[in-house]
Amino acid sequence: MEDSWSRKKPASNDKLDDEQPETPTSLDRAPTNVPRPFSYRELAKATNNFSVQTNKLGEGGYAVVYKGQLKNPDRFVAIKNFKLGKSATDRRKAFEDEIKVISQVRQRHLVELVGWCIDEEKDIVSLVYELVSEGSLHDHLHKGRSWLPWSRRYQIILDLGCALRYLHGECTGCILHGDISASNILLDSHYVAKLADFGLSRLMDHAIELKTTCNVAGTPGYIDPDFINIGKRSRESDVYGFGIVLLETVTGRSPAAAAVDPTTVSPLLKWVWGIKNSGAVLEASDPRLKHDSTRDEQEQMERVIQVALWCAHTDPAQRPSIKEAMRALESTNVAIPPLPLPGFMHGPSNLVADDMSCETSDSVVSPAASRA
C-alpha cells in the first residue's frame, strides 16, 4: 500500500477495549487532539459506509485505508481497517503491535493518531489517523504529483531526520521504525514531512537489543542488508533506510524496480557509489535540480549525497547515529569521515551502469505491500 498511516494506544491483550488513552509525556509541538475511541457507526458514517469507490485510499496485506470526515472532531482522517480476511489473532496482534508503539510518542513530524475502534460484534479493529493532504514523498518524486525544488527537498530531509532522531533517543525508550521509505513520508499542506506506518515498529529499551526474527519485512530497496543477514532490527537499520531516502530525494531515482529481489542491495546505492568512485559525486543529483539551483545549493546536494552514503554503508559499523548524521546535514563544520568501499564495489562489476534498474518507476513495491 503506497500511502499508509499509523499511530497510538497501549494494549494489553485482554483489556484493550476498556483502557483509556494516556497523555504522552514527551511533546514537541504536540497536536491538541487527544485520541479517543470511536464507534463503528461513527467511522462508517464518516466513510460513506467504507465505500470502495469513493473513499478507499489504499490497501496492503493487513489493512485497508479509507478517507473519512469526522464530526467530532470535525476533520478529515485516514481510517486503517485491519482486514477481516486475516485470523482474529493475527489481526489483533497487528493492531496491538502498531498501537503499542505509537502510544509512546508524539512529535510534529510523526503522523498524528486521532483514535481507534474495536467492535467485537462487527469483528473490526481500526486505527484513525490525521489525513495528510499532499500524499507521500514517493508520489511527488515518481508519480508527478508536484515538482519539488531543492529547498523543499532539503527541508523534507531535515524533517525526516528530526522524526528519526526523536524516535531513537528523545522519546521514552527507543522506537525502531523498521520501514523508512519514501512512501512512508507524508507531506501536509505546507509540505512539512510526517513519518507514517508504524506496522513494523518496535519499542525497546535504549540498552537492550531486540530478538532475531526470521521474517524479512520492509520495502524492497530500503531494507538493510545487515538485517537480512542477522535478522535483528537496529538503529543502524533505520539509519540505512534514511540514507537510501536521501539518495532517492537528491537523485530523483527509485531505489528499487519491481523485478529487484527485496533481499539485494539497492541498485540506486550501487549506482551512486559508482559515480562517487569516479570522483564526480554531484553528477548523481537530478539534472533538473542542478539546473535550477545555486552553487550553494549544489554544494548542499553534494553534502547530502556524502551523508547518504555514510548512512547507507553496507557495514553497520561504518554508519553514523542519526544524531551524527543530522549534525553533518545541518552544519558544514562537521566532518564526514572517509568511507571504505562497500563489499559490492570489490566485485567484478564494481561500477553500475546507468540503466533503467534505478530509474524512477511507478511499479516500485509500496511500503506495506505485504501488510499495510
Could you give the CA distance from residue 290 to residue 312 in angstroms, rounded to a whole number? 23
Could you give the CA distance from residue 21 to residue 31 in angstroms, rounded to a whole number? 15
In the chain, the amino acid numbered 350 is N
Q: Is 315 a catalytic residue?
A: no
Beta-carbon neighbour count of residue 371 at 10 Å?
A: 20
Nine cell digits for residue 149? 525544488
Rounded to whole angstroms, the maximal C-alpha distance in the chain is 64
Could you give the CA distance from residue 338 to residue 26 in angstroms, rounded to a whole number? 36
Q: What is the DSSP letter of 182?
A: G
H or E segment to which residue 58 belongs = strand 56-59
Sequence-separated (6 or more) residues with CB below 8 Å from residue 356: 257
Residue 77 contacts residue 131 (beta carbons within 8 Å): yes
Residue 181 contacts residue 222 (beta carbons within 8 Å): yes
Backbone torsion region of residue 238, taken as left when φ is above 0, otherwise alpha when ψ lies between -120 and 50, otherwise beta = alpha
Beta-carbon neighbour count of residue 171 at 10 Å?
A: 19
From 179, 197, 226, 238, active-site residue: 179
Sheet order of strands, 74-82 included: 36-37, 113-119, 124-130, 74-82, 63-71, 56-59
β-pair type (63-71, 36-37): unpaired
Q: Over the Cα atoms of the chain, what is R_g?
A: 20
3-state class (DSSP) for residue 327: helix
Could you give the CA distance from residue 244 to residue 308 in angstroms, rounded to a whole number? 7
Residues labelled catalytic? 179
